[in-house]
Amino acid sequence: MGSSLLQLIALAAVAIYLVFRLRNTLGTRDGFENPTRRTPRTPQVHSSPSEPEEAEVDYEITQFADAGSSTAIALAAMKQAEPGFSVEDFVAGARAAYEQILIGFAKGEIEDLKPFLALEVYESFKETVDARNQEGHSYEAKFVGLRETKLVNAEIDAADSRAEIGMQFVGEVISYVTDAEGNIVEGDPETIRRQRDSWIFARRMGSSDPNWELVATGE
């Protein structure tokens, strides 16, 4: 009987010890503790790919063409094909070429203009000058100034980078024609005449030749 009691006491002591260790290890829950909270997962927002940024506005181009227009797009492609290309410089050069070609043609100095003219334009100009000379007429002209210069359109061929730019000029000139005896047969040396011309210049972008050719003329 005494032996059984001792065994029972020993087992009870072991049980109490195990319970004590278990409580220290796991802690207690008495029904009033807040249940273990699971930190809610923040929903992941999968943002759609950002909208492409608007192309940077090239203010040199928008001086001469509306942003997003076919002309502006063509001018931008020209600058991409030839990074050193400047629209402002082209327009300034076109203004100078207009005066030079106009007066050179009037004076019959067609050979001096040949590097700046496409073959078809050169031949047309030469035919006119030759006919004038055969009649014994002399054409006199004085350039007074430009009243308007406008870039009206631009195109570029992606295949070969050939670019064309259309320009419109309104110039003021004094012009008259004299016969072999010096008599005025057309025009007036005292009258300023306003002249409107539409010209198209062309060039292959990236070419080592910096000159633009006049490829077409019109009013």
pLDDT at 55: 57
pLDDT at 139: 86
- Is pLDDT above 70 for 14? no
Q: Global pTM?
A: 0.71
pLDDT at 69: 96
Angstrom distance (rounded) from CA 80 to CA 32: 74
CA angle 111, 105, 208 (to 5 degrees): 50
- Is pLDDT above 70 for 33? no
Both structure tokens of 180 = 């072999």
pLDDT digits (tens, 9 = 90+) for 102-122: 999 988 889 999 999 999 999
Cβ atoms of 170 and 148 closer than 8 Å: yes
Helix (H, G, I), strand (E, B) or coil at 205: coil
Cβ atoms of 65 and 71 closer than 8 Å: yes
CA angle 145, 150, 156 (to 5 degrees): 135
Domains and CATH numbers, the chain: 59-218 (3.10.450.240)
Task: List the single range of 27-41, 46-60, 61-75, 184-198 with lowest mean pLDDT.
Answer: 27-41
